[in-house]
Structure 1
Amino acid sequence: MAKTQLNVRVEETTADTARERALQRGVSVNRYIEELVERDAGEVGHTFVDAAADFMKSYASVFAEEFGSRESEGRKRT
């Protein structure tokens, strides 16, 4: 996969922390930041799915009342 250069400005302490953490993990600063972004993107997806599941649990009775239960899926609504 092709790489794209991304330039960001951060506080010096943030840059120092990134360098230290990358060194501790044995990766480049670029790789360390790339991993953070990938992890964050994955967490957002999981957070969305978890929130959607919680929503459906909370409102299951409302949906069943409005649209019918699974037992009635084969019947036509009028």
Structure 2
Amino acid sequence: MTDDPEIPEPIEASEEPTEEELLALLSELRTEHRRIDTQIKALYETGVTDMIKIGRMKKIKLAIKDQIAYLENQLTPDIIA
């Protein structure tokens, strides 16, 4: 694992992963999201103000959050009330 995270590949809508695969990916994305958040906080606490690196990490974190939301929507059935 490198210190410099990369933007994850977008999820292809044409693929049909199983629910178990989606849950595993969701868990992995949540872990990565927390790891990046911890790294950002550590940079702020140590006084390192490399704003370009922090900005890039925040973009990656947001992309991961979007993928988490997408997967959660795929796993949650639509309930018409």
Q: TM-score normalized by structure 1? A: 0.40
Relative to its length, the structure with more helix (as a share) is 1
Structure number with the bigger relative contact order (C-alpha 8 A, sep ≥ 6) is 2
